[in-house]
Structure formats: structure tokens, C-alpha cells
Chain A
Amino acid sequence: MVVNVKKLVKRYGDLIALDHFDLEVKEGEVFGLLGPNGSGKTTAINCILSLLKYDKGTIEVFGKPMSPDAYDIKKDIGIIMQNVAVFDELTVYENIDYFCGLYVTDKEKRKKLVNEAIDFVALNDFRKFYPNKLSGGLLRRLNIACGIAHKPKLIILDEPTVAVDPQSRNNILEGIQKLNKQGATVIYTSHYMEEVEQICSRIAIMDKGKIIATGTKDELKAMIEIGEKISVEIFNKLEHIVNDIQKMSGISSVNYENDLLVIKSKRGNNNLTNILDYLKENNISYGKIYSELPTLNDVFLEITGKKLRD
């Protein structure tokens, strides 16, 4: 086990930020910590890294108890924080070299690692640029390079794509997958379910300081009742349509909003066929019609009763 957290409790006065939080991250996985803003993701990461005091619980990293002066553990951890942590007075190269130098003392080895990190985040053309001359996306890439230049075994990324353009976001996500293929274990926190679905092999969903579900994305989706979401474009709403479909077998819920009839059905066969038959038999005209599998947002919604980005 790379990270093993048991019964972690962290309070800020009366507010419980982490409520008996448990986490197990295995070697070689990309582990996603998904939850809305304020759910305790960053607090959990800061506790794991021994930056924050906590009230109860145990934290082990690489099988050893984590503490602020556990240098043998820290040397194998790379962290990419939510806020960009670079110095405005140093160039791209100098920033990466400075932070890498806190881990690697050998000058030649460090030079090689810094160059590899610059290649990895594709900042070769910007080596001598100062951070204030970089776009938001390039700045995020520099932030990542500073965190991974020393080739850590465990990489923790805390919301690294906040306020990043789509191109840089894809670049960052691809980079994380590449690092994982090179052997690094990754913990990735985000409130963007699409990103977590895209790159994480296992996911924990957090709310109010607790892990409310853990598993692969398929395991998580299997936990809920909804098997399919069917959307039908209908321009003239008729009250009886909602009631009729609601009464059909295997239907969980029906909503009509903005000319769109959204039907959530339980697991089973022929849900879409049954809907189409009903519309045809009743001569109801419709526009587009499509079917989707449930998302992690549906999982979160069913478990907590609220949306991920509420």
C-alpha cells in the first residue's frame, strides 16, 4: 500500500473537515479523490503530507508513519498544489532547478532531470521565460514540472486543472497518464467528474469530510439504481406523457424541462424501445432522442441528494 489512512479526524473549531476519513491507495494506480468544493479533499491531502495537524487517526506512506521530518518518505513524493507555487523572479529553468535541487544534490543528475521535466511538460521554447510572461496553461505546466522533476514514486495533484484552457487541460491529463505508465502512483483530486472518469483507475467520492463511495468507475455506477438516462426532445408538453411514462415498468424518474423529457430508468433491457413504442402509439411527435449511461454525478446525486457542483 502506498498510502494508508485510517479514521482521520480533522476539526476547525466546531466544523469537522474530515470525519473518520479512510483511504487506501495501491502502488501503480491513478487514484481519484472526487468531491464538491469544501468536501475536504485538500484538507485530506495536507494531512497526508503532514502539513496540517489532525485530531485523530493514522497516516502511513510507503508503509511508514508520515511525519514532517520523515525525509526518507518525502524524497519520493511530488506535489502539485492547487495554487501555482513558483517564484516570479526565476525563469522556467531556474524554478524547476531550484525545487529539484531541494531533492537532488548532484548537479549533473539534476541538470538531466530538469531538462527531462521541461521536455515532459513541453516548455522547451519557454526555458528562459519568467512566469509572468506565461499564459495560465503554461504556468500550470511549469507548476507540474516543479513537482515532478525529481521523479517521485508518489505524485499528488490537487485540482491541477482549475482555470486552465482545454488544450492545456488535455496536455496535463495526458501527462499524468504518462507519469503513471512510467511507474508513478498518482493521487488526483478534482471536482471535475469528467477528468476523474477519464484518467483514474479507482475513485473515492467525498462529501462533508467523509468517503461516501470507493471503487472503479463501473463499480461506482453499479452501486446506484439508475441504469440508463434517456432524453427525448418534445416541443409540446402534455401532462399525461410524464404520468404515463412514470407508470411504465423500470422507470425511476421523469422530468420535463426546456423542451426535454429526461427519463431515468433502472437497469434492464428494452427501456429505450418501450419509450419509442409509447410515443408512436400515442402519435406524439418528437425531435432528437438519445440514451446515456449514468455519470459519476448521478452516483453522487443518488447518494447525497445533491449535484457534484452544487
Chain B
Amino acid sequence: MFLHIFSYRFKCLIRDKQAMFWIFMFPILLATLFKMAIPDVGNLEKFEPINIAVVNNVEYQDSDAFKSTLSSVSDSASESNLMFNTKITTEEEAKDLLVNNKITGYIFMDNGPKVIVKESGFSQTILKGFISNYLQVTLQYNNVLEANPAAMQNFLSEIADNKSYIKEVSNTSASPNNSLVYYYALIAMTCLYGGMLGTKEVINIQANQTPQGARVSLAPTNKLKVFSSSILAATVIQVSIILILLVYLKFALNIDFGNQLLYVLLTVVAGSFVGVSFGAMIGSIIKGKESLKLGILISTTMMSSFLSGMMWLDMKYIVTNKFPIMAYINPANVISDAFYALYYYDTYTRFFINIGILFGFSIIFYLITYFTMRRQKYASI
């Protein structure tokens, strides 16, 4: 009997075109759109050297100090110090390159280096900052040389020993990549979309919700058996769909989820449990038509995904910082945070807290569903 119900419910759900679009096709389309909108996810925060030109005039030729400084952050620099791709040109060539957007700006030596740009921006600010820094150090050098030549040695060793008082500490061996949060939130949304399957299963076994439910209720079959086999079919489909999505993200879109496959699977299973159980709860407690229940489910899921950073990355951090409780009771956030913890932390404490919360949610949602559904006679149909 259990297998009979399971196999037919599996068929029904897998053939439900509307549900399959939202749960299976929509996340794949959305992931593809993300990939197109953020093409090189892995290199999003990587610094690209800025293209500049230097006008090759007499003053430039005579300025050994400037040539040496520029060279230390240009073509001959190590990869970590590389700031500029520098081209030595005539003034006309430099102007042409600037007009045609081939360079961010050019340097013209005229009683010291002058920066010529045609618009303001991030790269232009870096170029200007570099020249300002150079001028400041040169001025200090000249001042020291004039005032106290004996102190020159100390001055030179101090500017050579340029200290930074901010230290970046990484919690993981993985390289930081904030845009992964988009994909984590997408997976979380897909897990919660599994709620559609849970809702459908619940309304199809309740006599006061659908004619099919009435027919099932009249059969000499234990309701808990029908419920558990139906929910199992929904969960198996949901887990399978998320696995296909993960394979698509990893192999077709080259999204890196780290190497902890078993933990990733555990997250997916826990997320699917939450999604299906959440849908089952909505299906049992909300009175009204199926379309109303699915509408409430989808809007709740979208809001939940929004708050977990799917549409706007900073939202996740705002919610976590300003409303930490909200972050913990938002299933989409907990699912995406489990992935986040797995990728960014070398310890599993945060990951397992998230997994525990997810299974806790599932138990609560199923208990609410059970207590709503255990009633076998209805006041009205």
C-alpha cells in the first residue's frame, strides 16, 4: 500500500508541469541569468591593472626618480604590486588613446607629473592617488635634504618601511567570493519552492480541501500512512531536483562550492525537508483554494529569499547585523548560511548549528501539520 501510494504520488508530482517549472526550470533559468549578469564570479573582486600612458618628453627622460617609481608598480613589478599597464607615447598618441578609451589617463611631466583624465572614476582616483603620494614623498625628501641632510638616512629607511596597521585575517583557506551568496540564496529558494509539493500532497488527502481528498479520506486506509508516503514522494523529488541544480551550477556554470560534498548533500537534504514541510504546513493551516495557498507560499519564499540576499547582497548582512533573530528564523537565510559556513569556515560549528536549526524547523512544521490534519471529521466541506 505504502509503495502503491508513493509511486502514484511520485508520478503525479513529476507530471505536474506548473510545479516542475517553478521548482526545476525556474531556478536553472535564474542561475543562468545570474551567470550572465555576473560572468566571472571567481574574479569579481580581483584587481585589474589600470591602463595609462606617459608622455615621453625631455622632463620625463630626465626624471630618473619618477621613472623608477613608476616602473616599480608597472610592467616590471611583481603581480602583487602591479598597478598600471604603462605605455610610453607622444603627447598626441596619449590624447588619442584617452579619447578612444584605451587608457584611463596619461601623465604629462611639466614641472612635475600632471595627471590628465577625461572623467572621474575608481581607476582615475587610483592614478591620481599614486601621483599625489609620489609628490608628497618627493616634497618631504627635498625638505629633509634642505633642512638636515644628516637625517636623510633615517628618513629613507622610514619611508622604505611602509607599515600597514590593518591586518586581514581569513577564517578559511578558501578565497573570499561574496557573489556566491547569490547562488546560496538561489539554492535556498529552490529548497523552499519544494513547499509547493508539500502543499499539493496535503490538500490531496484532506476531505475539506479537494474532491480527491474526500475520496482518499473515504478509503479504508490509515491517514498517516497516506500522508507519510505522499510526503516521502515529494521529498525524494525535491532532493533530486536540487541535486540536478547543484550539478548544473557546478559543472555547467562552474560555481565552486568547495570540496565537502557530503556536507553539501546534507544541507540540500535538510533544506528540502524544510521546504516540503513548510509547504505541508501552509497547505494544512491556510483555509481556501489551492491557488491561494500556493500564492502565500511563493510570496513567503520570495520574501525569505530576498532577506537572505538573493536580490541584493547587502540585505543578508543588514538582516544579520540589525535583526539577528530574523536571520535565524528565516529558513532561506539558514540554508544559505549553511553553505556560506561550509565554504568560508574551516570549522563546522556554524554549519552544524544551521543544519540543526533546519531539522528543528522541519519537526515543528510537521508537528503543526499533523495536529491540524489528525482531525478526521470536518465541521464543513
**A interface vs B, CB < 8 Å?**
12, 46, 49-53, 68-69, 71-72, 74-75, 77, 79, 81, 83-87, 89-90, 94, 97-99, 101-103, 105, 146-147
Could you tell me which residues of chain B, from 4 to 19, have a CB within 8 Å of some CB in chain A? 4-5, 8, 11-13, 15-16
Contact B214 A101 (CB under 8 A): no
**B interface vs A, CB < 8 Å?**
1, 4-5, 8, 11-13, 15-16, 204, 207, 210-212, 214-221, 226, 376-381
Ordered by A's residue number, 30 sampled pairs between the chains whose C-beta atoms are within 8 Å are A49-B218, A51-B207, A51-B214, A51-B218, A52-B377, A52-B379, A52-B380, A52-B381, A53-B378, A68-B376, A68-B377, A71-B220, A74-B219, A79-B215, A79-B218, A83-B211, A85-B215, A86-B212, A87-B12, A90-B8, A94-B8, A97-B8, A98-B4, A99-B215, A101-B5, A102-B5, A102-B219, A102-B221, A105-B1, A146-B215
What distance in Å separates the Cβ of B99 from its nearest Cβ neighbour in chain A? 63
Contact A51 B217 (CB under 8 A): yes
Contact A53 B377 (CB under 8 A): yes
In the assembly, what is the distance between CA of A79 and CA of B273, in Å? 35
Contact A74 B1 (CB under 8 A): no
In the assembly, what is the distance between CA of A56 and CA of B323, in Å? 53
- Tell whether A94 pairs with B11 under 8 Å between CB atoms, given A51-B218, A79-B218, A84-B211: yes
Complex interface: chain A residues within 8 A of B215 (CB) = 79, 81, 85, 99, 146-147
- Tell whether A46 pairs with B12 under 8 Å between CB atoms, given A69-B376, A87-B212: no
- Tell whether A72 pairs with B378 under 8 Å between CB atoms, given A87-B12, A90-B8: no
What distance in Å separates the Cβ of B173 from its nearest Cβ neighbour in chain A? 48
What distance in Å separates the Cβ of B9 from its nearest Cβ neighbour in chain A? 9
In the assembly, what is the distance between CA of A102 and CA of B219, in Å? 6
What distance in Å separates the Cβ of A54 from its nearest Cβ neighbour in chain B? 9
Contact A53 B11 (CB under 8 A): no
Complex interface: chain A residues within 8 A of B12 (CB) = 87, 89-90
- Tell whether A51 pairs with B378 under 8 Å between CB atoms, given A90-B11, A94-B8, A101-B8: yes
Contact B379 A74 (CB under 8 A): no
Interface centre among B11, B212, B381 (most CB of A within 10 A): B212
- Tell whether A51 pairs with B1 under 8 Å between CB atoms, given A85-B215, A90-B8: no
What distance in Å separates the Cβ of B197 from its nearest Cβ neighbour in chain A? 12
Query: Which of chain A's residues has its CB closest to B216's CB?
Result: A102
In the assembly, what is the distance between CA of A20 and CA of B221, in Å? 31
In the assembly, what is the distance between CA of A195 and CA of B220, in Å? 31
In order of increasing CB-CB distance, the 10 nearest A-B pairs are A85-B211, A68-B376, A102-B219, A71-B220, A89-B15, A74-B220, A83-B211, A89-B12, A75-B220, A85-B215
Complex interface: chain B residues within 8 A of A83 (CB) = 211
What distance in Å separates the Cβ of A70 from its nearest Cβ neighbour in chain B? 8
What distance in Å separates the Cβ of A5 from its nearest Cβ neighbour in chain B? 16
Complex interface: chain A residues within 8 A of B216 (CB) = 102
Contact A102 B11 (CB under 8 A): no
- Tell whether A103 pairs with B380 under 8 Å between CB atoms, given A87-B12, A89-B12, A90-B8: no
- Tell whether A81 pairs with B214 under 8 Å between CB atoms, given A68-B376, A68-B377: yes
Complex interface: chain A residues within 8 A of B218 (CB) = 49, 51, 74, 77, 79
In the assembly, what is the distance between CA of A50 and CA of B377, in Å? 6
Interface centre among A69, A83, A98, A99 (most CB of B within 10 A): A98
**Known contacts A102-B221, A102-B226; 16 further A-B pairs (Cβ under 8 A):** A50-B377, A51-B217, A53-B379, A71-B220, A81-B211, A81-B215, A85-B212, A85-B215, A87-B212, A90-B15, A94-B11, A98-B8, A101-B5, A102-B219, A103-B220, A105-B4
- Tell whether A101 pairs with B379 under 8 Å between CB atoms, given A74-B218, A79-B215, A90-B11: no
What distance in Å separates the Cβ of A266 from its nearest Cβ neighbour in chain B? 44
What distance in Å separates the Cβ of A57 from its nearest Cβ neighbour in chain B? 14
What distance in Å separates the Cβ of B379 from its nearest Cβ neighbour in chain A? 6
Contact B379 A99 (CB under 8 A): no
Contact B219 A103 (CB under 8 A): yes
Complex interface: chain A residues within 8 A of B379 (CB) = 52-53
Interface centre among A53, A72, A84, A97 (most CB of B within 10 A): A53
What distance in Å separates the Cβ of B108 from its nearest Cβ neighbour in chain A? 73
Contact A99 B211 (CB under 8 A): no
Q: Determine which of A75, A97, A101, A146 lies in contact with B1 in the assembled complex, contact meaning CB atoms within 8 Å.
A: A101
Complex interface: chain B residues within 8 A of A79 (CB) = 214-215, 218
What distance in Å separates the Cβ of B376 from its nearest Cβ neighbour in chain A? 4
What distance in Å separates the Cβ of B230 from its nearest Cβ neighbour in chain A? 12
What distance in Å separates the Cβ of B152 from its nearest Cβ neighbour in chain A? 86
Query: Which of chain B's residues has its CB closest to A147's CB?
Result: B215
Q: Determine which of B16, B217, B220, B226 lies in contact with A89 in the assembled complex, contact meaning CB atoms within 8 Å.
A: B16
Complex interface: chain A residues within 8 A of B212 (CB) = 85-87
Complex interface: chain A residues within 8 A of B1 (CB) = 101-102, 105
What distance in Å separates the Cβ of A92 from its nearest Cβ neighbour in chain B? 14
Complex interface: chain B residues within 8 A of A74 (CB) = 218-220
Q: Determine which of B219, B377, B381 lies in contact with A99 in the assembled complex, contact meaning CB atoms within 8 Å.
A: B219
In the assembly, what is the distance between CA of A26 and CA of B282, in Å? 44
Contact A51 B211 (CB under 8 A): no
